[in-house]
Structure 1
Amino acid sequence: MPSYYVASDIGGTFTDTVVIDDNGRVGRYKSSTVPDNPAEGVLGTLVDAAEERGVDLAELLADVETFAHGTTIATNALLEGRTKKVGLIQTRGFGDTLTTMRGFKGTGLEEEEIKRFRTLVKQPPAVPRSLTEEVTERVDYAGRVVCPLDEDDVRRAVARLRDAGAEVFAVSLLWSFANDAHERRVGEIVAEEVPGASVTLSSAFLPRIGEYERTLTTAVNAGLRPLLGASLDSFESTLAAAGLRTGPLLMQSGGGLATFAEAEKRAAAAVMSGPVGGVVASQYLGSRDQHRNIVTTDMGGTSFDVGLVLDERPVMSNTTLIGRDRLALPSVAVRAIGAGAGSIASVRGGVLTVGPESAGARPGPACYGRGGERPTVADADLVLGYLNPDNFLGGRLTLDVERARAAIEEHIARPTGLTVEQAAEGIKTIVDARMADLVRQVTVEQGYDPADFAVFAYGGAGPLHAFSYGAELGCPQIVVPLTASVHSAFGIGSSDLTMVEELSKPLQAPPGTTDYGDALPPDEIETAFTELQDKAARGLVEAGADRETVTFTRSVEIRFRAQIHVLTVSFDDGPITAEGVNAMVARFIDSYEGRFGKGSAFPEAGVEITTFRVVAASPVPRAELETGRLPQGVGSVAGPGSRRVFSDGEWTDAAVYRAEHLHEGLRIDGLAIVELPDTTVVIGSGQEAVVDRLGGIVIHNRP
């Protein structure tokens, strides 16, 4: 019997699933997301996969070797304020930590919102002051007990929080990462006073320096755990009832998989579960085709997400931005704006705007015929002729051109005095410009030249719009992978089982240091990493990994002394030596000047290692992609057709190719449209494309 490797990604509009058999053949499936029951959307795609293979759903699921999953449950719960009520316990005198927060009012806002100075305010705290209690205790920076824990004080604080409506508890005491005894005892008292209550201890969940960030992240995690846990339990039981025999895995923000049990404990680490999958998939495919530097662009129904791959490694961030909060958890760096196929167009004050509001899956764009009346990007694409109304979702949903035209005419064309076609092209031009601007922010504003990068375009709408924003950026290649419509799901299925452990243990090299290997003792660094590696390896083994397969990536967060912000720098494999420490600091200085400009580094101030981090990974069984799948010639297949497209203010003919026309090495001159069962690819005027060995379409600008 064949084995299957399955991954799913539940987005705001569509649920994507990829099924790879043990011969490397890829099946791609999409269905509308069911917000009230996400597992239903996944089962819908799996039913399609089973029918395609001539088996029933139970037979397919019984032969699944690995099932990996990405979800927006944690993301949506945070953004919509649906988390559980958190009761927060802090050291006496520090209960205003979350209320004070950081002073950056623009964090998480789009540019237009930041410009509205009169209404620009800081976000509400993650936990209101009324649900925050202080207890008498104090530990100093070295972990020494300065003031013992007053247990009666703790019991009174827990009772007040319980009576105030706290449903879960978070404990974040000062310097608890240096000595966790007080936090552990507070956790025990909470369990005694409120049996069965969920408790998150910062010393167990996030033992790192940074009082505000640690407290914020611990509180967010506490509020998310019951919701994510319930969702994962329901998802797992639904799939098990349908015939799945293996335990599913969940994608984490850092780019690796975790068991559902581990994911529930670290719920805040799943807030970027879906978007990071596309970056991982781009890295995986790019490494096979010598694309070392990649801009990843994911245009779905709701948002446009951008990430980077540098030297075949995803660019990571020390923090995770969700809404207006920055969590102290490492993640694959992904920036997003509200610019998707479902983004709503409107005229405000005589100005045409697109997004960030989205029509979502229900009712969706006007052309879906599900009750949506406001025009969206998808409606504009249909009116302009880029979309074939009979080819959407492989023909399972017929798009209504007249509804799309009526929505654009009423809401855009009439208020602006434009024709329907001009209004539709205006919508497309604006959304393409917004996407190009975001890519510039991720590349140019970070010191990178887009000309050094290939653009990977994916998501349901990315392949249709990439020809425009990719050309505007001057990127030499735009790659639309075979897995474009389910690319994030494919990346989720291409990931390893991972465990991240970190610990803040500051080590300082004083001003004027030249021999960092002497000032930052290698044996202390080795000890810190060894402890973290042992802990991470135990976690993976408990999750079912073979200890012999576990590999480690070691890094530190390091900064110049007296500075606030840190950079993450890796350590080479092998024993820690003085030479290795000096090499690490040299890499830090190079990275710093690469980020902030030549001469910006200040080594004379000395450096400080703040946090040690270990990422342990164990490979998950997965199939390799099949190459040479495409035929070498079109044979008896009829030649491409044509369709009228409104481009640059006039109607013009575009060649139309279908999946059966494609073969390795095929060259396509623009203006052309490639209609695949699950997405549409556009090659613009002045561009040409070639089909690669994996079935991807690589677009170039003609010289």
Structure 2
Amino acid sequence: MPTYYVASDIGGTFTDTVVIDADGGARPDGRAGRVGRYKSSTVPDNPAQGVLDTLELAAEERGVPLAELLGAVEVFAHGTTIATNAMLEGRTKKVGLIQTRGFGDTLTIMRGFKGIGLDEEEVKRFRTLVKQPAAVPRRLTAEVTERIDYAGRVVCPLDEADVRRALAELRAAGAEVFAVSLLWSFANGAHERRVAEIIAEEVPGASVTLSSEFLPRIGEYERTLTTAVNASLRPVLKTSLDSFESTLSKAGLRADPLLMQSNGGLATFTEVEKRAAATVMSGPVGGVVASQFLGARSGHRNVVTTDMGGTSFDVGLVLDGRPVMSNTTLIGRDELALPSVAVRAIGAGAGSIASVRGGVLQVGPESAGARPGPACYGRGGTLPTVADADLVLGYLNPDNFLGGRLTLDVDKARGAIDEHVAKPTGLTVEQAAEGIKTIVDARMADLVRQVTVEQGYDPTDFAVFAYGGAGPLHAFSYGAELGCPQIVVPITASVHSAFGIGCSDLTMVEELSKPMQTPPGTTDHASALPPAELNATFDELAARARRDLVAAGAAEDSIRYVRSVEIRFRAQIHVLTVPFESDVLTAADVNGMVERFVEVYEGRFGKGAAFLEGGVEITTFRVVATSPVPRADFDTGALGEAAGEPGLRKVFSGGEWRDATVYRAEHLHDGLHIEGLAIVELRDTTVVIGPGQDAEVDGSGDIVIRNR
């Protein structure tokens, strides 16, 4: 019986799925490991249905019933926007927050910078610039009498009667779930655990998140915010995941699904429900992981990952073969204290709506979404979008969208652009459409510059990987503007994030804040940061991660550990992450860690910026434990002999209609050289090679675009 490996990613507009045949027996071509690519419209009210729609296509291609295909799935991995959408749309549960007396205003005060989560234009509007609303309103925050000091010593015992009073107030105010974040709980969690016991007595069955268990790290505001957000998301994520799992199980799935986390690893539904906030970047990070995987295969160790879907444009980096990580996760205007693959996003997708405001043409961040979608979808949308502009300009073939399953309406696209953009600006429809495309391409190029140039990286040292449903169509423009030497459109482009989810491993992250300092003027850092103490802390965290991975089904001898610390110069605020290479640290490893920190610091802030004489401070210890998920050997495809001759199509480019050479999948072969202006129409995406560019197709079907 054939065995399948499946990964899916539910986006705002489309649901993407890859199905990998372990033995190839059910494929028409009989090839094992072949990555089948499938897309379907997302069903917002029933996300599992969108996944089933893609799997129906996979089953039909293999000539087997859907239930038979699902019954033979060995591993099912999934990326979701459930937590992200719930936060952005305000569909989370009401949190009752319990804090140490005197510190109940933590979330209201927040950080002083008002521009967190805003783009450059919004930050410039200083007259209307205000802080974001607090994650938990003050009326749902209660203070209790207790105090533990920085060393974990009890200074003031927990007043249990005060806890019961606080609970009664929070319940009366409408609290549905509870978060507990006491001042020094990461140093000693005893008071938080007792509060949880009292909540269980007073409100049986209530969902409770303790900061000392979920996020035992320094940083009063960030820890409290992240704990509260996690508490608000847990019931929402659990309900959605239970429904998702039930729907797929009824359809025939026997394997327990795994979910993608923001850190680039997979976890079981049971484990991830406890860490709901760790899934807010679940989908976008998959594309970065896939780019790392394919980049290693093709020799690209430095990659700018660019994902243009229907709703957003996401950018990440792979540096020296590894995804660049962030110590925080930004969602909306909230910065959560959770490590994640660093991905920046703006509202610039194929569904981004174009409008004229005050005589100025703008694109996004509002999106037409999956329903009704762009005007050209013919589903009731009347506002012009980037997809409508691409169609009017001739880049999109109206009969080739979603493999021909959806015919695009050119007249409706022209009508929407004419009414809402062309007439208000006095332009022709084609000029207005090109204006829409030019603006969205410039916004995307600006974001890439922010991720590269503004972080000290030279874009010419990177290859651009362009993916997502619309990325391959627009990359020729924003990639050329950046001066990157190569723009790579992988054969998996349309389902790249789903493919990356299928490339990921089971992952568990454990961290603990345990501040340790070196005195000013220290040269032998290991004398102030004893290796034995560091090893003991790492061993404790590794044991926790190992316990959870084994519970998820991982073999203990398969688990790999990466140890790192967050470190800063004394009296500074911001930290950098520095990994250790050794499993058991020696004095040489500790001194080498400080040297590496200085190297990274000066690489970020300039030569001579380090002040080692002032001493350093380790704030947080982190262990990332991974265990490989069973998977088939990947075969992303190999091209055969080309058949037929390419055609021509008129494209409006540079203010005039031009001839573009049009290639289809059957025209491609290994080593094919393509001169721009040209269009490559694949079953699931469209690739554009611009004027002044050429491209070459490699044996896997990847298209590499270069500027001449």
Q: Give the TM-score normalised by structure 1.
A: 0.99
What is the CA distance between 1:497 and its match in structure 2? 0.3
Residue 644 (structure 1) aligns with: 650
**Alpha-carbon separation, structure 2, partners of 1:149 and 1:227:** 31
Aligned pairs for 1:419-458 within 5 A: 419-458=428-467
Mapped contact 1:450–1:475 kept (Cα < 8 A): yes
2:84 aligned to 75, 79, 83, which one? 75
Q: Which amino acid aligns with 1:345?
A: A
**Alpha-carbon separation, structure 2, partners of 1:448 and 1:377:** 29
Residue 236 (structure 2) aligns with: 227
Mapped contact 2:582–2:589 kept (Cα < 8 A): no
Residue 493 (structure 1) aligns with: 502
Residue 180 (structure 1) aligns with: 189
Q: Secondary structure at the match of 1:674?
A: strand
**Alpha-carbon separation, structure 2, partners of 1:103 and 1:53:** 57
Residue 27 (structure 2) aligns with: none
**Alpha-carbon separation, structure 1, partners of 2:525 and 2:481:** 45
- Deviation per CA, 1:634-673: give whole Å up to 9, x if none: 1xx2100110000111111000000111111111111100
1:199 aligned to 176, 186, 208, which one? 208
User: Is 1:6 aligned with 2:15?
Assistant: no
Identity of aligned residues (%): 82
Residue 696 (structure 1) aligns with: 702
User: Is 1:145 aligned with 2:192?
Assistant: no
Residue 401 (structure 2) aligns with: 392
Residue 676 (structure 2) aligns with: 670
User: Is 1:97 aligned with 2:106?
Assistant: yes
Show structure 1 runs of 4+ deviating over 6 A: none
1:352 aligned to 357, 361, 364, which one? 361
2:518 aligned to 509, 526, 551, which one? 509
Aligned pairs for 1:320-339 within 5 A: 320-339=329-348
Q: Which amino acid aligns with 1:652?
A: R
What is the CA distance between 1:604 and its match in structure 2? 1.3
What is the CA distance between 1:628 and its match in structure 2? 6.4
Q: Which amino acid aligns with 1:234?
A: S
**Alpha-carbon separation, structure 1, partners of 2:394 and 2:575:** 49
Q: Which amino acid aligns with 1:691?
A: V
Residue 684 (structure 1) aligns with: 690
Q: Which amino acid aligns with 1:696?
A: D
Compared CA separation, residues 393 and 93, structure 1 to 2 (3 A): same
**Alpha-carbon separation, structure 2, partners of 1:159 and 1:490:** 48
What is the CA distance between 1:264 and its match in structure 2? 0.3
Q: Secondary structure at the match of 2:572?
A: coil
What is the CA distance between 1:163 and its match in structure 2? 1.4
Q: Secondary structure at the match of 1:280?
A: helix
Mapped contact 1:254–1:330 kept (Cα < 8 A): yes
Tell me how large the CA RMSD over aligned residues is: 0.8
1:553 aligned to 562, 581, 601, which one? 562
What is the CA distance between 1:627 and its match in structure 2? 6.3
Q: Give the TM-score normalised by structure 2.
A: 0.98
Mapped contact 2:644–2:666 kept (Cα < 8 A): no
Aligned pairs for 1:108-123 within 5 A: 108-123=117-132
User: Is 1:46 aligned with 2:45?
Assistant: no
**Alpha-carbon separation, structure 1, partners of 2:621 and 2:490:** 36
Q: Secondary structure at the match of 2:406?
A: coil
What is the CA distance between 1:599 and its match in structure 2? 1.4
Q: Which runs of 5+ in 1 are unaligned?
A: none
Mapped contact 2:35–2:636 kept (Cα < 8 A): no
- Deviation per CA, 1:294-317: give whole Å up to 9, x if none: 000000000000000000000000
Residue 130 (structure 1) aligns with: 139
**Alpha-carbon separation, structure 2, partners of 1:233 and 1:664:** 45
Mapped contact 1:184–1:201 kept (Cα < 8 A): yes
**Alpha-carbon separation, structure 2, partners of 1:529 and 1:271:** 27
Residue 287 (structure 1) aligns with: 296
**Alpha-carbon separation, structure 2, partners of 1:624 and 1:115:** 50
**Alpha-carbon separation, structure 1, partners of 2:255 and 2:556:** 20
- Deviation per CA, 1:66-87: give whole Å up to 9, x if none: 1000000000000111100000
Q: Which amino acid aligns with 1:122?
A: K
User: Is 1:587 aligned with 2:596?
Assistant: yes
Q: Secondary structure at the match of 2:476?
A: helix
- Deviation per CA, 1:76-104: give whole Å up to 9, x if none: 00011110000000001100000010011
User: Is 1:656 aligned with 2:662?
Assistant: yes
Mapped contact 2:77–2:260 kept (Cα < 8 A): yes
- Deviation per CA, 1:399-455: give whole Å up to 9, x if none: 000111111111111111111111110100000000000000000000000000000
Mapped contact 1:305–1:334 kept (Cα < 8 A): yes
**Alpha-carbon separation, structure 1, partners of 2:282 and 2:375:** 29
Q: Which amino acid aligns with 1:600?
A: A
User: Is 1:17 aligned with 2:26?
Assistant: no
**Alpha-carbon separation, structure 1, partners of 2:422 and 2:222:** 47
Q: Secondary structure at the match of 2:638?
A: coil
User: Is 1:189 aligned with 2:198?
Assistant: yes
What is the CA distance between 1:510 and its match in structure 2? 1.2
**Alpha-carbon separation, structure 1, partners of 2:344 and 2:485:** 22
What is the CA distance between 1:629 and its match in structure 2? 2.0
**Alpha-carbon separation, structure 1, partners of 2:221 and 2:91:** 22
Residue 168 (structure 1) aligns with: 177
**Alpha-carbon separation, structure 2, partners of 1:179 and 1:215:** 16
Tell me the matched-pair count: 699
Mapped contact 1:421–1:646 kept (Cα < 8 A): yes
